[in-house]
Structure 1
């Protein structure tokens, strides 16, 4: 398949854009500066990107602010809370340790980008740091920082992400049960899945 309009060289790509400004370059450091640490510790949500096999992936990770712990200025600790047990991100990290994280704070339009490498750890001392309600994560990610900088507000301002007026009613989209019933050709009872989901979610957060 030919793609006549695809950019295939760095020279072609760079010709389409102006040079990065001084501020865009000055904001990047190779460690968690105290200013950036404040953002990380205030964030209840981060997006974790990993590389594996034929493609890259991204998954949300969230908990109370500070759930991503700062071990030192070059190391973060991210607990792997209960999920669907697909462990896609963890499989990827075992095969290729490169990761990226994007930290989001409700009401704040700037985000923090972290790039580095990660390992999947079962160190009892690290796991003990992440226990909530007596429940420990199966593993924790130990993330070695290589780059940190803030992403300007344009994307979140354009998206109006934090504007209550733009919130979408969940029932305006297909339910999880509807999706599962259709994709499984009704081997999964979608109505039953939707009915039990609220309690299931409540019981399996940790």
Structure 2
């Protein structure tokens, strides 16, 4: 049965149970159908939601050429993890709490979105290639060290009502894996001068 206990309680409180049940019955699948698979295959970005064992959340962004989200079968997909800032916030959360939410949005053509929810596991690139031989080949400067493999439990539409229509624009080429601070955005928000320090285990602000 789709939906959390919290969803059900609020549906009862606010009188939306009938509409919710209709959405669950008509739109929520436990797998990816053919149309969803085609949609995933042409996406070049994804928003990833995770939380740790305590429920503290993180939202992250992943991008790549269409096909970087690799469909293994109608109940399994994988996305690559590349070298980043070393924090590994999403992966760390998955290690503690495997449940992930993925949101894919087509801002350009169909103005529609797709939610994919389910448990995930972290798999080394070499291991996954032994299991899934048709994974995308690495590109120069862009080699996946590991993959996140997601078992699809829920897949459903995100309606187009409030999705803006965006047009792709040309942009400067940036080498993948670069350590160039300007190319990466560096200290865009000026946080470095206000870096947090830990004093007695309590976060504080330095330089004040």
TM > 0.5: yes
Q: How far apart in 1 are the matches of 2:7 and 2:65?
A: 43
Larger helix fraction of residues: 1
Write the deviation string for residues 112-151 of structure 1: whole angstroms up to 9, x where unpaired.
Answer: 0001011000151535834122642111011111110111
Shift of 1:65: 1.1
Alignment of 1:1-206 (within 5 A): 11=9, 14-18=12-16, 19-20=18-19, 22-23=22-23, 25-54=25-54, 55-107=56-108, 108-126=110-128, 129-130=135-136, 131-133=138-140, 135-156=142-163, 160=164, 162=166, 176-184=187-195
Count, aligned residues? 166
Residues 102 and 115 in structure 2, CA contact (< 8 A), matched pair in contact too = yes
Structure 1: segments with no counterpart, 5+ residues: 1-7, 165-174, 186-206
Q: How far apart in 2 are the matches of 1:163 and 1:36?
A: 22
Shift of 1:17: 4.2
Between 13-22 and 107-116, the greater mean CA deviation after superposition: 13-22
Q: Secondary structure at the match of 1:90?
A: helix
TM-score (norm 1): 0.70
Shift of 1:24: 5.5
Q: Secondary structure at the match of 1:84?
A: coil
Q: Secondary structure at the match of 1:20?
A: helix
- Distance change in 2, residues 1:161/1:53 (3 Å): farther
Larger strand fraction of residues: 2
What is the match of residue 3 of structure 2? none
Q: Secondary structure at the match of 1:176?
A: coil
Residues 82 and 142 in structure 2, CA contact (< 8 A), matched pair in contact too = no
Residues 44 and 104 in structure 1, CA contact (< 8 A), matched pair in contact too = no
- Distance change in 2, residues 1:9/1:20 (3 Å): closer
Shift of 1:77: 1.1
Residues 116 and 145 in structure 1, CA contact (< 8 A), matched pair in contact too = yes
